[in-house]
Every structure is written in C-alpha cells, then in structure tokens.
Amino acid sequence: MPLEPPTTAPSKNWDTTATPAPTVAPPPTNPAPDTPPKRKRGWLGWLIAALIIAALAWAKVQYFPSSTAGKEGGKGSGKGGPGGAGGPGAKVPVQVYVVAATRLSDQVASTGSVLADESVTIQSEIAGKITSLNIREGQPVRKGQLLFTINAADVQAQLQKQEYNLKLYQDQERRQRALLEKEYISRQEYEQSNNALLTAQADLRALRVTLSKAYVRAPFDGVLGLRNTSVGAYVSPGTAITTLSRVKPVKIDFNVPSRFAQSVRVGDVVLVTDEATTKQIKAKVYAVNPQIDPVSRTLPVRAIYPNKNLELRPGGFVKVNLELGETATALQIPTEAVVPVASGYTVYTVRKGKAAVQPVNIGVRSDKVIQITKGLAVGDTVIRTGILQVKPGDRVSIQK
C-alpha cells in the first residue's frame, strides 16, 4: 500500500492592512552587576586637599602664634617677645592733653521762642449780624478804638422800654413815700414799691451792658491781624474776628538745665540770635519761673527786648546764650577725651606710663571742649586719642 507523502501546513499570511504583524520580543537586558566598579581618585582632589591644609597651617602661624615662639624670639626683637609688637608688654600709641587753667565765660546755650508782649483774639460776646467793620489788617490801633459793631436793635428797644418802666416806678415810689410819711399806708406797702424801683434800675443797667457788647473796641494799643469775616456776616459768641498784638516790646521764652537754676538771676543779659536773619541782639531776663519742669528737668526763663525796629516777630525761633559770669581758673579738656558711662562721665589719664580710669563731673560744654568741675587737677595728663584701644593698666606710648 503506497504511503502518502506528508503534507505541510501552508504559511499563514497576515493582513497588514487590518492588524499589524507580530514582532519578535527583544532579548532580556543584562541585569546590573552585583558590585559597582571601583572609582579611581583623581590627582585634582589630592591637590585641593593639600592646598586647604597648607592654608590652615599658614593661618595658624600668622594669627595664632604659640606662646613658646614668643619666648624664643629674643629680647625686644622677637615677634611675640616682651618688647615686640603685639606681645603682652606692648605699648599702645596715644595722644594726650595736659590739663591747664583757662579763662571761661560761663554760658548756657538754649533755644527759645518769641512772644508778643500782649496778644488777644478779637471775638464777639453776643450773637448777631455785623453792621460795621473798621478793621484795617496789619495796621496799628489805639486802645478804645471801635473795631466792629453787632446789630443790637432789639436790645435798644428793650432799653427804651425799661427806661419808661423806670420812670413809672420812680413816680410810684415818690407817692408811696409821701403817703408813708402821713401814715396813710403801711411800711410794707412802701417797701414793695421801692423794691420794684430798684429792680427796674438793675434791669436797665443790665441792658446797657448788653448794648455795650455790640460795640467791640481795642483793649490795648497794638497791631491788627488778618480778619476772618465781612460786613453782614452772622457771628456767634466766641467767633474769632481778628487778632490784636503788641509787638513793642517782645518776650523771649527759653529753658535752662536745672543744674544752672541757682545761677540765673533777674537782670541777666542773654545774647539772642534770630534764625531768620542771623542778627544778634541783647535781651534782659525779667522773670524766672519758681518751679523746675518735672518732665524736662529744666527751668523756664523769660527775657524782654524793646524791639523798637521790629527786629523780632512773635512766633519766631531764636538761639539763646545766657551769660552766667566768667572764671579764669576753669579746667577744660577736648570733647573726644570724655567717655560717657552709665554712672556719668570718665576720662583716661596717664600715671607712671599706664592708663587709668578717672570719673569726672562736667560743666559747660561746646563742640570742641568740655569743662571739668570735679575729678581732675592742673597738670593731669588726659588721653585724647586711642581711647578705644586702651584698657585700664595698659602701658601707653605718648605720640606727638
């Protein structure tokens, strides 16, 4: 029986237009090795480390020398030796000032304000319409001069009515007195009539006072300010109409520190400098406040100046120098030599070549010198420069 040849399955054809043909899966990647490869340190890293170590060694030698190096450095020549610069026995270079007696004019510098000798705001005491206004702004006026009037027609009518009533009460009182003398009426009836007369007289005086308030006059000689209203305006009591000031003379108010309170006297001369014109004038103290201001610890003082040529204007700012006298034995040192501390003031003096701290009390001071009232004597040597580098007990080298 003949054998049939084996049949092979035909190869499958894919329609790539509908479904893409399968692709062969990529082979698996090689997994990471168990141990990373060893890195080799480069020559650059070793060079950087060597430079850092060298820099640290140089800084140690330069800024932190060992104590043994100073001992081995020779007498007076080694860098850290007893006589070398920067060693424990080094001298601090300073400049000094030798205290001597000098002439001093005791002056107290202060600031002050200029005030008018008299100043008032002109107001109306009654309500009403202004019927006349005789205010010339900035012009002088005399005491009693009429400034403006208020409409007081109703007050005048009441006054006229009260005058008629007063005449009636006077006639009644006169008839009642005649009847009392003849004992036709009792004493009580006459007293009632007399009381009505007295009441009418009091009412008449009150109306006359009210009428006088409608005519406002200048209370003193002075200069008028700018007016704030016009004729026909209705004003109420207290409405400011203008100002009146007396500027010849003027007052100067200033304060002095409490430590000079016992030195200020009435009649002392003050040198006043006007800030606007820098002109200097002399005023005289005429009043001293009996109490020291508890807030500022200063004593209020007031001076007066004639101001005949109107050198000063009220409200201005001035600088004041109060002369308290003159002394020929004052001790003054440079301002930079005084060191403020919590307990007061101190200076550094030179004693046997070393710096020492000396507490002092100060007096009059300026921008260059300060008076020392306690703590120093003539001939003392005071350090004026290098104070920040000096400590008590340091040896100092005096520089010219």
pLDDT (mean) for 170-186? 90
pLDDT at 317: 93
Residue from 352, 275, 343 nearest 313 by CA = 275
pLDDT at 400: 73
- The predicted-structure confidence for 71-122, as pLDDT tens digits, reads as follows 444 444 444 444 444 555 688 899 999 999 888 877 788 999 999 999 999 9
Identify whether the C-beta of residue 374 lies closer than 8 Å to the C-beta of residue 360.
Answer: yes
Mean pLDDT of the chain: 83
Q: 176: phi > 0 → left, psi -120 to 50 → alpha, else beta; which?
A: alpha
Q: List every span in the chain annotated with CATH 2.40.420.20.
A: 92-99+338-398
pLDDT (mean) for 298-326? 91
pLDDT at 372: 92
pLDDT at 12: 45
For residues 23 and 190, what is the distance between their CA atoms, to the nearest angstrom? 148
Rounded to 5°, the CA angle 324-102-285 comes to 10
pLDDT at 87: 53
pLDDT at 233: 94
pLDDT at 10: 44
Say which amino acid occupies 19. T
pLDDT (mean) for 39-50? 71
Confidence of residue 51 (pLDDT cuts 50, 70, 90): confident
pLDDT (mean) for 250-259? 92
Confidence of residue 230 (pLDDT cuts 50, 70, 90): very high
- The predicted-structure confidence for 270-297, as pLDDT tens digits, reads as follows 999 998 888 899 999 999 999 999 999 9
Confidence of residue 50 (pLDDT cuts 50, 70, 90): confident
pLDDT at 114: 95
Least confident range from 13-27, 155-169, 224-238: namely 13-27
Q: Taking the model in full, what pTM does it have?
A: 0.57
108-115+245-324 has which CATH code? Answer: 2.40.30.170
Q: List every span in the chain annotated with CATH 2.40.30.170.
A: 108-115+245-324
pLDDT at 4: 44
In the predicted structure, residue 16 carries a pLDDT above the cut 70: no
Ramachandran angles phi, psi of 261, nearest 5°: -60, -35
In the predicted structure, residue 299 carries a pLDDT above the cut 60: yes
pLDDT at 124: 92
CATH topology of domain 92-99+338-398: 2.40.420
